[in-house]
A and B are shown apart, each in its own frame.
Chain A
């Protein structure tokens, strides 16, 4: 297909879709409207279960089945990336070379690393209270580890990152989420229903029933997933090279 034809098709399709969209926008309830039936119900349900952060309650309690699906997508993409970026038969591994880093940068990285790690854990732990949760905190914690790559070099990172452990951790935390859900079935209520845990006092770390548990499982899974993902990409960019290559 020539570029010209593609542009014509694109212009036609884009114009049609734009017209449809814009017409739809003018049929929408105005921005900032007051009618949110589902949202209002969700707030009530969250407060009834003593979860201060309504969004966490929606994520890990009311619509926990969605989060199960999202978590599985995450798990699948990471597994897919591991499979797709495997070392093929015509590739070999080179040793990464040490990297010179200016002193202030190195010091900064080493100081910020623990701070970032703690912030990540803080964001996970307070997921059911203040803004945050497993998804956000997990990413922050995983990013923190990679300060070692940025502030030192790849070898330093490899030393503290046994990738196998992270892979097992990823799979185990995904399984933990499922097992927490299955406990509800075994107890005779329903999948992902809270049967055992008390709801605790409003606005404390242990409130919300299964929410903190599922939140922690997600936090661990996300952290492991991002570490594995970046490890595969770093392997490709730094270590793996073609066998017949010059270097």
Chain B
């Protein structure tokens, strides 16, 4: 158990990479990149977890009454999720333009840049 969350994060990252490398559709590839990114969230939060603790949000509990988990990793992850979505949008807009200019979104059929 003590390493399972880390191993799951690694598994997700590597699976995402595999999907990215073997993808036949650029939209699918961008989706795989999002999967890779979610691996980083899982890893960060697993690192910040403390057994038996609760969230460091004191709107409904008294400060100091219960142990709390690490807020720093949560702050790092939280902003990254929203920002990750917009970067995904940026990449998707490039995919749309590729589909317009090349008439395909299959990376195997893109043959403009070589050598």
Identify B86's interface contact among A46, A126, A229, CB under 8 A.
A229
> Is A54 a contact of B58 with CB atoms below 8 Å?
yes
> Is A39 a contact of B72 with CB atoms below 8 Å?
yes
Chief secondary structure at chain A's binding surface: helix
Chain A residues with Cβ below 8 Å from B76 are 66
* B interface residues, how many (CB within 8 angstroms): 53
Identify B82's interface contact among A28, A126, A135, CB under 8 A.
A135
> Is B79 a contact of A66 with CB atoms below 8 Å?
yes
> Is B18 a contact of A81 with CB atoms below 8 Å?
no
> Is A54 a contact of B10 with CB atoms below 8 Å?
no
> Is A130 a contact of B57 with CB atoms below 8 Å?
yes
> Is B49 a contact of A31 with CB atoms below 8 Å?
yes
A85 CA / B79 CA spacing, docked (Å): 25
A47 CA / B50 CA spacing, docked (Å): 19
Q: What number of residue pairs across chains A and B have CB atoms under 8 A from each other?
A: 166
A34 CA / B18 CA spacing, docked (Å): 34
Most chain A beta-carbon neighbours within 10 Å: one of B13, B55, B89, B96: B89
Identify A38's interface contact among B72, B80, B87, CB under 8 A.
B72
Most chain A beta-carbon neighbours within 10 Å: one of B47, B52, B80, B90: B90
Chief secondary structure at chain B's binding surface: helix
A216 CA / B110 CA spacing, docked (Å): 44
Q: Tell me the residues in window 76-110 of chain B with beta carbons closer than 8 Å to chain A beta carbons.
A: 76, 78-83, 86-87, 89-90, 92-94, 96-97, 100
**B residues engaging A (CB < 8 A)?**
1-7, 10, 13-14, 17-18, 21-22, 46-52, 55-60, 63, 68-76, 78-83, 86-87, 89-90, 92-94, 96-97, 100
**A residues engaging B (CB < 8 A)?**
6-7, 10, 14, 17-18, 21-22, 25-26, 28, 30-34, 36, 38-39, 42-43, 46-47, 52-55, 57-59, 63, 66-67, 70, 73-74, 77-78, 80-81, 84-85, 126, 129-131, 133, 135-136, 138-139, 202-203, 222, 225-226, 229, 232-233, 236, 242
Q: 18 extra interchain contacts, Cβ-Cβ under 8 A, other than A14-B14, A136-B78, A202-B58?
A: A14-B17, A25-B6, A25-B7, A34-B50, A39-B70, A43-B68, A43-B71, A52-B58, A53-B58, A55-B74, A58-B72, A59-B78, A70-B79, A74-B83, A85-B93, A85-B96, A135-B78, A203-B59
